[in-house]
Structures are given as structure tokens and as C-alpha cells.
């Protein structure tokens, strides 16, 4: 699944998550196939992003594995390891990454 700007959405893509308005009301359900008219209507409702199935759009952003992200986190915080506040922030981020890893298993 991939969250993309609505401007990159193409007919035939399927929604992996429902599209909600600012009040939380469902505009389009999960599994809905996008078409030109629907994309235009969503744009008219100021919807900025949609989550679609698969990874149909190359956003130029490298997708890293959770293990790679944990390694990067260690590297980024190693220079401030003696700072208790930075260690707390790192711990929070590490716990969030590990939760995401558990959900995918």
C-alpha cells in the first residue's frame, strides 16, 4: 500500500484505505477503483492524498526495511548518546519502529 498525492492518482488504481473528509465521514470506501470522475470529485473536495494498493508510483523516496531504519536511528543518535533527553527521544522512536515491525509479522 502506498500513500500518494491525489495529483498522481490514475484511473484503475484501487484504494487500500477509505478516503475520509475532515469530519471523518467516508467519501470512498476501501477497495474502490479510481476513475477520472472520482479523482476529479475528490480534488474538488480538497482531498490531498489517497492510499492505494501496491506501490504503483515511484516517488523517488527509498523505502527502507525496519531493520535499516533502526540502524539509521542508532547512527543518528550516537553523537548525542550522553544526553538524557536525546536518549529518551531515541527510545520513543525505537519503540514506535518496533511496534510497526510487530504489526507486519
What confidence category does residue 36 fall into, taking pLDDT thresholds of 50, 70 and 90?
very high
pLDDT at 84 over 70: yes
pLDDT at 46 over 90: yes
Task: Go through 76-87 and write b for each residue having 16 or more CB atoms within 10 A of its CB, e for each that does not.
Answer: ebeeeeeeeeee
The predicted model gives 17-33 an average pLDDT of 94
pLDDT at 53 over 70: yes
In this predicted structure, what is the pLDDT of residue 14?
Answer: 96
pTM of the predicted structure, to 2 decimals: 0.56
How far are the Cα atoms of 13, 38, 78, 104 from residue 25, in angstroms, in the given order?
Answer: 21, 16, 44, 27
What confidence category does residue 65 fall into, taking pLDDT thresholds of 50, 70 and 90?
confident
The predicted model gives 44-68 an average pLDDT of 83
Amino acid at each position: 500500500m502506498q500513500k500518494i498525492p491525489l495529483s498522481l492518482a490514475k484511473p484503475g488504481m484501487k484504494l487500500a484505505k477509505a478516503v475520509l473528509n475532515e469530519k471523518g465521514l467516508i467519501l470512498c470506501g476501501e477497495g474502490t477503483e479510481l476513475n477520472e470522475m472520482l479523482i476529479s470529485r475528490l480534488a474538488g473536495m480538497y482531498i490531498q492524498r489517497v492510499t492505494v494498493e501496491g506501490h504503483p508510483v515511484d516517488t523517488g523516496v527509498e523505502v527502507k526495511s525496519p531493520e535499516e531504519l533502526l540502524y539509521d536511528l542508532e547512527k543518528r543518535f550516537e553523537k548525542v548518546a550522553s544526553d538524557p533527553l536525546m536518549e529518551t527521544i531515541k527510545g520513543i522512536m525505537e519503540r514506535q519502529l518496533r511496534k510497526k515491525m510487530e504489526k507486519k509479522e
